[in-house]
Amino acid sequence: MREPAITQTPAMIELRGLVKTFRHNGIQVDVLTGVDLDIFRGETLAVVGASGVGKSTLLHILGTLERPSAGQVRWEDQDVFSLDDRSLAAFRNRKVGFVFQFHHLLAEFNALENVMMPALIARVPQAAAREQAEAILVRVGLKERLTHRVTTLSGGEQQRVAVARALVLEPEVLLADEPTGNLDPKSGIRVQELILELNAEKGLTSVIVTHNLEMARVLDRQITLIDGKAIILRGE
Ligand SMILES: Nc1ncnc2c1ncn2[C@@H]1O[C@H](COP(=O)(O)OP(=O)(O)OP(=O)(O)O)[C@@H](O)[C@H]1O
Ligand SMILES: [Mg+2]
Instruction: Write out pLDDT tens, residues 41-92.
Output: 999 999 999 999 999 999 999 999 999 999 999 999 899 999 999 999 989 9
For residue 134, how far is its CA from the centre of ligand 1 (angstroms)? 34
Residue nearest to atom 26 of ligand 1 (CA): 51
Point out the ligand 1 atom lying closest to the alpha carbon of residue 178: 27
Q: What is the DSSP string of 120-175?
A: HHTT--HHHHHHHHHHHHHHTT-GGGTTSBGGGS-HHHHHHHHHHHHHTT--SEEE
What's the rounded Cα separation, in Å, for the pair 81 and 236? 27
Which residue in 166, 236, 168 sits closest to 208, CA to CA? 166
pLDDT digits (tens, 9 = 90+) for 218-231: 999 999 999 999 99
Residue type, 230: A
What is the Å distance from ligand 1's center to 56 Cα?
Answer: 7
Residue of 189, 229, 234 whose CA lies nearest to 212 = 189
With CA atoms as reference, report the closest residue to 44 among 133, 175, 136: 175
The angle, 0 to 180 degrees and rounded to 10, between the axes of the packed helices 111-121 and 126-139 is: 130
pLDDT bucket at 6, cuts 50 / 70 / 90: low
Is there a contact between 51 and 35 (Cβ–Cβ < 8 Å)? Answer: no
Tell me which CATH homologous superfamily contains domain 13-234.
P-loop containing nucleotide triphosphate hydrolases (3.40.50.300)
Is-cis flag, bond preceding 4, omega within 30?
no
| Residues framing ligand 1 (Cβ under 6 A) | 22, 24, 29, 31, 51-57, 101
Give 65 Cα–ligand 2 centroid separation in angstroms.
14
pTM of the model: 0.92
Asked whether the predicted pLDDT for residue 3 surpasses 80, the reply is: no
Provide the residue ranges of all domains of the chain, joining segments of one domain with +: 13-234
